[in-house]
């Protein structure tokens, strides 16, 4: 009789950690810093790309991001018209080396915290949650983010960048290394928050709860003042598209920005208490 039953083991403790992205999630509204540099790097190659093309792989490790831009059909076509051949790995390597100093130079220009970041993080910490972070930036780049964030009162307990793990997003390794650094009981006790599709997939692949941020980051892709200046109808169209895209990729929750995520945290905790799993 008993062999007809299968027993499941569910985590029913508190949320122990919230793992946040950087650009577009906690600072740099619109995720501008990497996007403008990708445009600049391709411009210097004589193959201009649009801001929309630059954003398509956003969330990936930056060298991988450049390679994925070269694989976009429209970009590949322009490259072939310019050089009479397809882009190759040597091109990607060269552009990435050009990307690094340009990115380092401009990061602090886009390092203002997104409204609500410090308030939400302080509230999460007051509830006993630890704060982790992941990023497609490399070590020297995220060091600048950390310094600029600390000046504004934001300092995560753990930061893992793409160069710390074998593969960046959407692989789960940065989230998992955060879980190790933070000493969490289970990945089911963790929430991953991100403004990019690869970042949401990173959290899902790590077995964590996920919250997508639809308007503060890459999906709308505008600084706060420019986003607020959009005609209402245009903003709502862009917003609805971002929500749909994030839910379709598997996000458990989607809100506008980090300032709106506390009800999601409360809901996740309630679901954990009821025996739900990510």
User: CATH number, domain at 219?
Assistant: 3.40.50.1000
- For the cut 70, the answer to whether the pLDDT of residue 2 exceeds it is no
Are 39 and 134 found together in one domain?
no
C-alpha pair distances (Å), 146 with each of 22, 105, 112, 142: 9, 15, 12, 6
Are 103 and 217 found together in one domain?
no
Are 41 and 17 found together in one domain?
no
Task: Provide the pLDDT for residue 144.
Answer: 97
Are 119 and 247 found together in one domain?
yes
Clarify whether 228 is annotated catalytic.
no
Q: What is the Cα gyration radius of the chain?
A: 19
- Identify any residues that bridge with 161 across adjacent strands, giving them in sequence order: 135
Are 49 and 182 found together in one domain?
no
Does 2 fall in a domain?
no
Are 175 and 133 found together in one domain?
yes
pLDDT digits (tens, 9 = 90+) for 104-158: 999 999 999 999 999 999 999 999 999 999 999 999 999 999 999 999 999 999 9
Clarify whether 28 is annotated catalytic.
no
Does 3 fall in a domain?
no
Q: What dihedral angle (degrees, nearest 10) is formed by the CA atoms of 97, 100, 101, 107?
A: 170
Domain ranges, residue 48: 34-109
Give the residue from 109, 143, 169 where a domain finishes.
109
Are 94 and 216 found together in one domain?
no
Strands 158-161, 190-194: pairing is unpaired
- Identify any residues that bridge with 130 across adjacent strands, giving them in sequence order: 17
Active-site entry in 28, 62, 192, 195 = 62
Rounded Cα gap, residues 190 and 204, in angstroms: 11
Give the residue from 93, 109, 125 where a domain finishes.
109
Rounded Cα gap, residues 176 and 170, in angstroms: 12
Are 16 and 64 found together in one domain?
no
Are 261 and 135 found together in one domain?
yes
Rounded Cα gap, residues 100 and 154, in angstroms: 25
Active-site entry in 21, 91, 194, 195 = 21
Are 249 and 234 found together in one domain?
yes
pTM of this prediction?
0.93
Are 57 and 99 found together in one domain?
yes
pLDDT digits (tens, 9 = 90+) for 184-236: 999 999 999 999 999 999 999 999 999 999 999 999 999 999 999 999 999 99
User: CATH number, domain at 102?
Assistant: 1.10.150.240
Number of separate domains in the chain: 2
Are 55 and 168 found together in one domain?
no
Give the residue from 109, 142, 172 where a domain finishes.
109
Does 230 fall in a domain?
yes
């Amino acid at each position: 009789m008993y062999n007809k039953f299968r027993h499941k083991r569910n985590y029913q403790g508190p949320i122990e950690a919230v793992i946040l992205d950087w650009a577009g999630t906690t600072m740099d509204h619109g995720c501008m810093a990497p996007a403008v540099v990708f445009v600049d790097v391709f411009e210097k190659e004589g193959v201009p790309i649009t801001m929309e093309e630059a954003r398509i792989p956003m969330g990936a490790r930056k060298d991988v991001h450049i390679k994925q831009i070269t694989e976009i059909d429209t970009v590949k076509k322009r490259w072939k018209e310019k050089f009479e051949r397809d882009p190759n790995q040597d091109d990607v390597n060269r552009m990435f080396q050009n990307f690094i100093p340009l990115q380092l130079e401009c990061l602090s220009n886009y390092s203002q915290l997104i409204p609500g970041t410090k308030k939400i993080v302080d509230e999460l910490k007051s509830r006993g949650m630890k704060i982790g972070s992941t990023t497609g930036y490399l070590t020297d780049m995220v060091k600048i983010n950390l310094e600029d964030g600390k000046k504004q009162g934001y300092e995560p307990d753990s930061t893992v960048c793409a160069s710390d793990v074998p593969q960046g997003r959407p692989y789960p390794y940065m989230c998992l290394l955060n879980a190790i650094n933070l000493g969490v009981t289970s990945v089911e006790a963790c929430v991953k928050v991100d403004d990019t599709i690869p970042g949401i997939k990173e959290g899902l692949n790590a077995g964590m709860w996920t919250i997508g941020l639809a308007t503060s980051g890459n999906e709308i892709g505008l600084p706060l003042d420019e986003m607020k200046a959009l005609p209402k109808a245009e903003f709502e169209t862009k917003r609805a598209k971002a929500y749909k895209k994030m839910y379709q990729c598997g996000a458990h929750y989607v809100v506008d920005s980090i300032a709106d995520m506390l009800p999601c945290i409360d809901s996740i905790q309630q679901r954990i208490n009821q025996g739900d799993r990510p």
